[in-house]
Amino acid sequence: MGIYLYSAEQIDLIHRACRLAADTLSALEAIISEGVSTFELDKIACEFIAARNGKPAFLGYRGYPAALCTSINEVVVHGIPNGTTLKEGQIVSIDVGVRKNGYYGDGARTFPVGRISEEKQRLLRVTEESLYKGIEKAVAGNHLHDVSFAVQKYVEAHGFSVVRDLVGHGVGRSLHEEPAIPNYGEPGTGIKLKEGMVLAIEPMVNAGTYKVEVDADGWTVRTADKKPSAHFEHTVVVRKGEPEILTR
């Protein structure tokens, strides 16, 4: 599969899916609290998306059994919703994909559950800020790894590490398209970015080592040292000037 350059009409359709993904995250933020189960969050997300003429993009994707990825504390990504209830002091990363009108949107945010430690606050802040550092480089004429390097440089300057086994991706006609977007790399390398590319940029940042492990379920990815991890993701359009964030 090659790299798509999307037309204005197609980007409008992708934007609608992205806006629904963003609205879903905002709706979930309002109910995240101690005692709420990740299964409840998934059920609410399914109902919210369906009521707005969308479909959960993750549900059934390569056999994945839910609409959301709900990743608590040391779980980096792909935590499967279940009866686990949230507890005060935890952080929970929620990743959601939406299909609407034949196009896809993808976004993720990490939320505090009640009051969290200063280290976790800093982890969330640095991860989200690193996302915007990467987005700033998603400009036509730049190289793909300019985005990657911007994320890595900012994260490591603050004493955290970027996950190397998982990447961002193109998105639009399909949930996952080329190019793969690592969160580390050498500036000036990788493909040249062109106007009309749609990219899901998603730093996954660990408080400790960048190394991760996968549970026996084949999905759940955890930090190897069991220290917390945060994840933020926006779908953006490459422009000649400032990139356009579709999941804002």
Q: What is the pLDDT of residue 55?
A: 98
76 within domain boundaries = yes
In order, the DSSP letters of 95-111 are: EEEEEETTEEEEEEEEE
pTM of the predicted structure, to 2 decimals: 0.97
Q: Which residue has the tokens 């990467």?
A: 134
221 within domain boundaries = yes
- Residue 223 forms beta bridges with which residues? 212
Amino acid identity of residue 14, one-letter, is I
1 within domain boundaries = no
Q: What is the pLDDT of residue 2?
A: 87
Least Cα distance to 21 among 100, 92, 75, 79 occurs for: 100
The DSSP bridge pattern shows strands 177-181 and 168-170 to be antiparallel
247 within domain boundaries = no
Q: What is the pLDDT of residue 88?
A: 98
245 within domain boundaries = no
Per-position pLDDT tens, the chain of length 248: 689 999 999 999 999 999 999 999 999 999 999 999 999 999 999 999 999 999 999 999 999 999 999 999 999 999 999 999 999 999 999 999 999 999 999 999 999 999 999 999 999 999 999 999 999 999 999 999 999 999 999 999 999 999 999 999 999 999 999 999 999 999 999 999 999 999 999 999 999 999 999 999 999 999 999 999 999 999 999 999 999 999 99
Task: Assign 51 to helix, strand or coil.
Answer: helix
17 within domain boundaries = yes
Q: What is the pLDDT of residue 1?
A: 63
3 within domain boundaries = no
Question: Could you list the residue range(s) of the whole structural domain that residue 20 is in?
Answer: 8-240
Residue 43 belongs to a domain with what CATH number?
3.90.230.10
Q: Which residues contact 83 (CB under 8 A, 6 or more apart)?
A: 37, 38, 39
Q: Name the domain count of the chain.
A: 1
131 within domain boundaries = yes
